[in-house]
Amino acid sequence: MFINPYTFVIQLINIAILFYFLKRFLFHPLSSFLENRKENIRQQYGEAERQKLESEKIYNEYRSRLDGSKEEIRAMIKTAKKEAEQTRRSILEQAQQEAELLISKAKGEMERQKDKVYRELMEQSVDFSLVMASKVLEQKISKEEHHGIIRQVINRIGDEREWVQ
């Protein structure tokens, strides 16, 4: 195997020319493409990180709002329970007042009926006394008998009064 120096030099020159053209037209554009791609990936990664931080911020914001809303809802429920309890008490008080009013009206009506019965008894006792008096006047009686009859009438009236009460 014999190496020709002339061929060797020409092949070296060819390799150098080929290397120059490859570097100029292939390696350089490929290197800049890869560098651009690398920079683009870095930017996308940075954008993804920024969006991640922003989404975490928004998530935390909504979480705090949700917690605040839960507290507001609890407060509203507590207020509603208090209002319901006050309404219940108010209704009970009103019902109790109406019941007391009805009871007092019934007592008043009973008192009027009692007075009416008492007056009727008094009228009857007066009528009875008049009848007794007319009978007594028809007869001649002594003072003692007269006083006895009056005591009897008074005793009966007293008994009638006790019946009414």
Per-residue confidence in pLDDT tens, the chain, 165 aa: 678 889 989 999 999 999 898 888 888 888 888 999 999 999 999 999 999 999 999 999 999 988 888 888 889 999 999 999 999 999 999 999 999 999 999 999 998 988 888 888 777 777 777 777 776 666 666 667 767 777 777 777 665 544 444
- Enter the DSSP assignment of 139: S
pLDDT at 83: 93
- pLDDT at residue number 161: 47
Rounded CA-CA distance 23/121 in Å is: 141
At 137 the pLDDT is 67
Which pTM was predicted? 0.40
Residues in Cβ contact with 156 at an 8 Å cutoff, skipping those fewer than 6 apart? 125, 128
What is the per-residue pLDDT for 136? 61
- Structural domain boundaries of the chain? 5-164
Q: Amino acid identity of 79?
A: T
**Cα radius of gyration rounded to whole Å, the chain:** 62
